Amino acid sequence: MADYLSVTDFSTEEMEEVWSMTDRLKANPHNNLLYGKNVLLLFEKPSTRTRVSFEVGVNQMGGSPIYMDASTSQLSRGEPVEDTGRTLDRYVDMVVARVYRHEDLVKLALSMKNPVINALSDLEHPCQIMADLYTIREKLGSVKAKRISFIGDGSNNVCTSLMLGSALAGASVTVASPSGYEPKKTIVNMANELSAGSVKVTDDPFKAVSDADVIYTDVYTSMGQEKEKEERLKVFLPKYQVNAKLISSAPKDVLFMHCLPAHHEEEVTREVLYGDHSIVFDQAENRLHVQKAIMLKLFGKSI
């Protein structure tokens, strides 16, 4: 069975399969397709949407979710990730892991025969982006040829998965970030190889949104970077805030997206977050539906 550690672990065709399954799951959320399956949620970091959406999703499909805080597991006392994985493989049918270091996620997956899903690492957040692109498909009819503008920290995990996932889906991404916070060149190159010319980088947010179908932002300070918060606020504000002025520089029907949680009046104003352009809570809901389809896909099931 395959793992889902990166958004690129699914081909373009497989992404479409997952979204088609999501359509059916959203229309009929309850089934027994995971009956008898035990799914472990192994989390090193705090979570609201990811934890609850996975737990509810497993329950709705007749499976049994098990939550384990890594800080209270033997991992916190120095047990190697590989030994944890070899042991869990004997107990559970799938592990959904939220980790600090992506390399630990890879070690876990290599030590297990059963599937591992990346519920967020320092490198990627693939479940988030699969749900976000599904939401764009739902709202605009297709992801292909759509123009997405990301405003903020272009080096973070959400932006990385957004660039790669959008490239696979045939969308273009423009990232507006201050100097020192641009996307990694290796990721930009990888995205452009997946879909030629799909990613552009600028330091001008107004230029980035001028022809955007979607404006996307995220917090300036990701989990684990809390000590950098004051410095980051100085760098990002006010230029990289999504506010009414920036929205008015985009096409009138532009959509606003945020993976949440949002820091009000930092990366986005309340006026935009709760305004007519915002679809952030539709995004949040779709995490539940898309993640159910991802789990079924990895178990080789269809609906």
Catalytic center residues = 98, 125, 128, 218, 259, 287
257 φ/ψ angles, rounded to the nearest 5 degrees: -130, 150
Q: Token pair of 95, please?
A: 């592990």
Which amino acid, one-letter code, is at 281? F
What SS3 class is residue 278?
strand
Shortest CA distance to 270 belongs to which of 250, 256, 285? 256
- Among the listed residues 303, 253, 256, the one whose alpha carbon sits nearest the alpha carbon of residue 279: 256
Neighbouring residues of 224: CB distance < 8 A, sequence distance ≥ 6: 45, 100, 122
Q: How far from each other are the two terminal CA atoms of the chain, in whole angstroms?
A: 18
Contact predicate 25/56, CB 8 Å: no
Strands in the chain per DSSP E: 38-43, 64-69, 94-98, 116-118, 147-151, 172-176, 199-202, 214-217, 255-258
Name every residue whose Cβ is closer than 8 Å to that of residue 203 and which is 6 or more positions away in sequence: 176, 177, 178, 179
- Burial (CB < 10 A; 0-12, 13-18, 19+), residue 260, is middle
Q: Are 261 and 26 in contact (CB under 8 A)?
A: no
Q: Are 151 and 215 in contact (CB under 8 A)?
A: yes
- Rounded Cα distance between 57 and 59, Å, is 5
